[in-house]
């Protein structure tokens, strides 16, 4: 299918039409008593969405090869956002419609066929009216995710949230007691090309937090370095007392778009590294840095992306820890949280690991004391703080978005970690 995108689009379009045809059967039950003109208007409004979506889908393969990857993703987000906004609610609606059809089919199968009197016909009419009840419940239920997704697209993706944790360590040097570490992750800045004000808001919010160290845990871009170019000036305004450090995430390597040559791909990565430098970030590539306050120090370790397949494994933790004082307090930046379980926890004495990558699926539910996201099916550690013995992992759910242009119950996150000596 990857080699024949038109075939994939055709199959996907067919699925869309099947969903719509069945959903419209339910809609007809709801509009049966409306005027002819109103019925016609509802039909037009119903079918205009799949018409626009399918037309848009067939242009995707052509645009992907002809349009700048950063601009293409903006178009793709329009298509994906439209699909999620309308078709998740439709799938919920057709479940209720299917239950209704199944109920009527079962009753019809087992009912006795007999001549209907006028009274019975009236009763049947009432039954048909009652049968619409389930369909109406379906449309109301489907309205809940529709409104939630619409909110996530319009406002949720910009609802910047600061999450705070205070962590205690017996081996944290006294001069670092109260150290304020601010973590950002997963900018996916190409998705924000049309929202420069949000980038400025992030910078201003971070600066208001008076970070001692600012750590960025990967995925500055979606695919290409050009996404970052127009934001270098504003990104350089990030402030942190003891420095700004970053690592690469899986998207930063340009793995997800076709390149004319390996040389072009390599040049893109080198440009991204330079842009991060121009923005004031010290990009740590399988290496480490010492942070000193007077005569005491801690170690910042950074690895390139290390993830379980199909994600790339460029990270080399052994190399990154060369020349690290074995008795020092250590903070590791590793984009993918699976790295913690696979190579860090129990294998090293790294005190604190910071990761991102999961985005919390950009969808979740949070109530006091409980937080859930469907991404936990894929990732054991997907968001927030995890502690095993004396080792800690914090997974930031990201400040940007990709794939779906919204965040529902999983707002963009800035993390503040206050480190304390215990």
CATH number for the domain spanning 203: value is 3.60.21.10
Q: What is the pLDDT of residue 226?
A: 94
CA-nearest of 69, 68, 67 to 223 is: 69
- Establish whether the linkage from the previous residue to 310 is cis, with ω within 30° of 0: yes
Given 154, 189, 223, the domain boundary residue is: 154
pLDDT at 406 over 60: yes
Judge if 123 and 39 occupy the same domain. Answer: yes
Q: Are 238 and 280 in contact (CB under 8 A)?
A: yes
pLDDT at 70 over 70: yes
CB neighbour list of residue 320: distance below 8 Å, 6 or more residues apart: 284, 286, 287, 288, 301, 302, 303, 332
CA-nearest of 405, 406, 412 to 77 is: 405
Judge if 166 and 150 occupy the same domain. Answer: no
Q: Residue with structure tokens 């937090």?
A: 209
pLDDT at 185 over 60: yes
Q: What is the pLDDT of residue 368?
A: 87
Confidence of residue 131 (pLDDT cuts 50, 70, 90): low
Judge if 91 and 194 occupy the same domain. Answer: no
Return the SS3 of 393: strand
Apex 17 CA angle, 16 and 18, nearest 5: 95
pLDDT at 320 over 60: yes
In the DSSP assignment, the letter for residue 187 is -
The domain of 332 spans 162-421
Q: What mean pLDDT do residues 84-101 have? A: 90
Q: Residue with structure tokens 């004396």?
A: 390
Q: What mean pLDDT do residues 343-351 have? A: 97
Q: What mean pLDDT do residues 362-391 have? A: 95
Judge if 113 and 248 occupy the same domain. Answer: no
Judge if 118 and 49 occupy the same domain. Answer: yes
Judge if 169 and 288 occupy the same domain. Answer: yes
Given 154, 189, 209, the domain boundary residue is: 154
Judge if 169 and 201 occupy the same domain. Answer: yes
Q: Rounded distance, CA 121 to CA 235, Å?
A: 72
Distance of CA 294 to the CA centre of its chain: 41
Judge if 122 and 171 occupy the same domain. Answer: no
Q: What is the pLDDT of residue 125?
A: 47
The count of domains in the chain is: 2
Judge if 100 and 196 occupy the same domain. Answer: no
Confidence of residue 26 (pLDDT cuts 50, 70, 90): confident
pLDDT > 90 in the chain, percent? 77
pLDDT at 156 over 80: yes
Q: What mean pLDDT do residues 151-167 have? A: 97
Burial class (CB in 10 A: 0-12, 13-18, 19+), 40: exposed
Q: Rounded distance, CA 46 to CA 280, Å?
A: 50
Q: Are 246 and 278 in contact (CB under 8 A)?
A: no
Judge if 138 and 185 occupy the same domain. Answer: no
Helices 36-66 and 69-110 sit at what angle, rounded to 10 degrees?
Answer: 140
Q: What mean pLDDT do residues 164-191 have? A: 97
118 vs 30, more confident: 30
Judge if 201 and 103 occupy the same domain. Answer: no
Measure the N-to-C terminal CA separation of the chain; round to a whole number of Å.
57
Mean predicted lDDT score pLDDT of the chain: 91
Q: Is 312 left (phi over 0), alpha (psi -120 to 50) or beta?
A: beta
Given 108, 137, 154, the domain boundary residue is: 154
Confidence of residue 122 (pLDDT cuts 50, 70, 90): very low
Q: What is the pLDDT of residue 24?
A: 93
402 φ, ψ (degrees, to nearest 5): -155, 150
Q: What is the pLDDT of residue 130?
A: 52
> 202-253: per-residue pLDDT in tens?
999 999 999 999 999 999 999 999 999 999 999 999 999 999 999 999 999 9
pLDDT at 326 over 90: yes
Judge if 149 and 271 occupy the same domain. Answer: no
Question: How many residues does this entry show for the chain?
Answer: 422
């Amino acid at each position: 299918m990857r080699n024949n995108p038109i075939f994939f689009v055709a199959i996907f379009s067919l699925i869309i039409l099947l969903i719509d045809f069945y959903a419209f059967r339910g809609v007809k039950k709801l509009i049966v008593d409306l005027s002819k003109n109103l019925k016609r208007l509802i039909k037009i409004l119903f079918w205009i969405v799949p018409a626009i979506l399918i037309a848009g889908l067939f242009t995707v393969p052509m645009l992907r090869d002809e349009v700048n990857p950063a601009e293409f993703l903006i178009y793709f987000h329009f298509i994906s956002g439209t699909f999620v906004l309308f078709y998740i609610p439709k799938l919920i609606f057709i479940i209720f419609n299917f239950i209704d059809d199944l109920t009527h089919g079962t009753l019809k199968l087992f009912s006795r066929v007999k001549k209907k009197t006028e009274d019975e016909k009236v009763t049947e009419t009432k039954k048909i009216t009652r049968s619409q009840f389930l369909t109406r419940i379906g449309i109301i239920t489907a309205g809940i995710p529709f409104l939630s997704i619409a909110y996530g697209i319009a406002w949720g993706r910009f609802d910047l949230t600061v999450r705070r944790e205070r962590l205690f360590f017996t081996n944290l040097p006294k001069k670092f007691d109260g150290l304020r570490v601010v973590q950002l992750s997963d900018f996916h800045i190409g998705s924000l090309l049309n929202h420069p004000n949000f980038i400025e808001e992030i910078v201003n919010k971070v600066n208001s937090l008076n970070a001692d160290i600012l750590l960025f845990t990967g995925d500055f871009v979606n695919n290409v370095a050009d996404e970052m170019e127009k934001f270098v000036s504003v990104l350089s305004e990030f402030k942190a007392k003891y420095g700004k450090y970053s690592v690469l995430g899986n998207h930063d390597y340009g793995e997800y778009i076709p390149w004319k040559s390996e040389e072009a791909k390599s040049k893109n990565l080198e440009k991204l590294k330079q842009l991060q430098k121009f923005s004031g970030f010290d990009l740590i590539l399988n290496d480490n840095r010492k942070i000193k306050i007077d005569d005491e120090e801690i170690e910042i370790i950074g690895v390139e992306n290390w993830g379980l397949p199909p994600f790339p494994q460029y990270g080399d933790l052994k190399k990154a820890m060369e020349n690290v004082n074995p008795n020092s307090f250590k903070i590791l930046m590793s984009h993918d949280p699976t790295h913690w379980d696979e190579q860090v926890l129990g294998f090293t004495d790294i005190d604190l690991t910071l990761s991102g990558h999961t985005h919390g699926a950009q969808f979740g539910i949070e109530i006091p004391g409980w937080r859930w996201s469907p991404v936990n099916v894929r990732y054991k550690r997907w968001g927030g703080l995890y502690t095993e013995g004396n080792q800690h992992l914090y997974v930031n759910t990201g400040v940007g978005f990709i794939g779906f242009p919204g965040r529902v119950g999983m707002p963009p996150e800035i993390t503040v970690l206050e480190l304390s000596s215990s």
